[in-house]
Amino acid sequence: MSDTSAGDWLRERLDEPWNATMHAVVPHGFPAYARILHPGIVRSLPDRPVPTYDEYDAMPEAERQALFDRFIDEPATWAETASAFGTTLHPLAQWQRIVRTPMDGDWRTRISPDGREFSAPTEGELAPEMLTSIASHLIAHTTTPDAGFAALWEGRGGLVGHMGHGPSRAFYTFSDDPNHQAMLDRSVKNPFNNAFRKRTWQEGILSREISEGPRFRLPDRDHVLFRGAIGAFANQDWVLDVPWRDRPGEEHGFAPSAQTPSILWPDDHAWVMVSEIDHDSTIVAGSTELVAAICADERLEAFLIPENADLTWDADEVNR
C-alpha cells in the first residue's frame, strides 16, 4: 500500500520496544487478550527412546539411516509437553521452562524422561490451518469482515526483492554432472568475486513495485501492508489467493505456501491479531466474547491473559 497511515492507531497504543510486557508489540486498550500457543514437534520411535546426538553420531552410517527412517514426528501441544517433563502448563508458561532447560542447555531440542524428543514451536509463524481456525472466530466479532489489513514483516523468507549481489534466497540444485556441480559450487562459494560484481535487482516473492514501496513501521519492525477481506483467512485455501503467495517456490517444485500475517486487524478495530516474529505464541486482543470463544476452541491451545502480561523468557515463575 502507498498509504500506511491505516496502522497509526495501532502504533499509538504500543509501549516502548524495551518494555517488559507484551505491549511492546500488542496494543493496549482492549477488554481481553488471548494467548494462542504454537505447537511444538515431538519425535519418537516405536520401540525405544530417541538417542541423544552423541549416541546418534556414534552409530554406523547404515544404522543411523535405518533409525532415521523410523522416526515419527507429530505436533506436540504444550499440555502434552508439560506432562512429559513433569512441569505445569499455565497462561504465562514459557517453553524453555516447560522442557526443564538447564542454564547452559539448548531449549530448542530436549529429550523427555520417557525418551521422546521435543522441538520448540515455530516463532512468529502460524500453520495455515491454525490461522483458518483463528479467523473463523475473528470474522464473527467484527462489523467489517470484508475490509481490513494484513501486515507482513519484511524480513522473512525472501518476501521482498532488493538491490544486491545475490538472490533474496537460494534454491539449491544438485547435479550428477561434475562440471555443472563445480559451477554451482563456485557461484555459492566465491564471495570475494561476488563482492565486486555490479549490484542488480534480486527478485523476491513480491513485485519490485511493492518491494520498494512504503512500509508500515513499528518500533524495530518494518512491514509490508496489504488491504483486503479478513474473511478470506477463514477459507482453508487462503494461501492460493493472497498476493504474497510464494510462486517462486512453486516454480522450484514446492507446494503452494504463503507467509501468515504478522499483524491482522479489521477496519472497525474490533480486534487485532499479533504474531510477533520472536514469540512462540500469537496474541489476539479483542472483546471478552471473542477471547472466550478462542479459548474454548478445542482446535487451539489458548489462554486468557491479563493486560500488561509479561511474556519474556524469564516470566514463568511457576516452573523454576
Give the span between the Cα atoms of 248 and 296, in whole angstroms. 38
| Cβ burial, residue 252 (10 Å; 0-12/13-18/19+) | exposed
Give the span between the Cα atoms of 179 and 256, in whole angstroms. 32
Mean pLDDT across the chain: 88
Set of cell numbers at residue 280? 512462540
pLDDT value at position 84?
97
> Whose CA is closest to 302, among 28, 26, 32, 19?
32
Name the pTM for this structure: 0.87
Alpha-carbon distances, residue 6 vs 218, 226, 293 (angstroms): 13, 10, 27
Give the span between the Cα atoms of 29 and 104, in whole angstroms. 39
- Residue 147 and residue 232 in contact, taking contact as beta carbons nearer than 8 Å: no
Q: What is the pLDDT of residues 14-61, one digit of tens each?
A: 998 777 799 999 999 999 999 999 999 999 888 778 887 787 778 888
Q: What is the pLDDT of residues 96-126, one digit of tens each?
A: 999 999 988 899 999 999 999 999 999 999 9
pLDDT value at position 124?
93
Is pLDDT of 255 > 90? yes
pLDDT value at position 59?
84
Q: What is the pLDDT of residues 61-87, one digit of tens each?
A: 887 887 877 888 999 999 999 999 999
Element (H, E) at 96: helix 95-98
